[in-house]
Amino acid sequence: MAGPRNISVSETSRPVLPRHAKLKYDETRKVWVILAPERVLAPDEIAVEVLQLCDGERNVGDISDQLAAKYAAPRDAILTDVIAMLQDLADKGFLTEAREKTS
């Protein structure tokens, strides 16, 4: 059975989309979408950029570092935004955490 549903996103989380949520570029409508059961979500540009970095390897801290460098923006502000966006996605059931190999 699945683990606890409500994950809490933090700097050390290693988020990844679960198999039932798929990030895809929709060639017809020229937008990025998240495909989920009975839902099609349209993430904005920033959300897409974050989600493309969510590979289950990088943690939220790494992702924020990368975005802070790319946009020459304050890391703290980026981190706050990234956590809020990912938490929102997690609360909707469209984000999971990569499991540790040990424990």
Catalog residues that contact another protein under the rule CB under 8 A.
1-2, 5-6, 18-20, 22, 24, 26-29, 31, 33-35, 37-44, 46-47, 85, 88-89, 91-93
SS3 89: helix
The C-alpha atoms of residue 91 and residue 6 are separated, in whole angstroms, by 7
27 or 100: CB nearest another protein: 27
Q: Say how many CA atoms lie within 13 Å of 9 toward its Cβ.
A: 26
Q: HEC profile for 47-78?
A: HHHHHHHCECCCCHHHHHHHHHHHHCCCHHHH
CB of 36 to another protein, least distance (A): 8
54 or 89: CB nearest another protein: 89
Spell out the residues 6+ positions from residue 50 whose beta carbon is closer than 8 angstroms to its own: 63, 67, 82, 85, 86
39 or 75: CB nearest another protein: 39
CB of 44 to another protein, least distance (A): 5
CB of 40 to another protein, least distance (A): 4
67 or 89: CB nearest another protein: 89
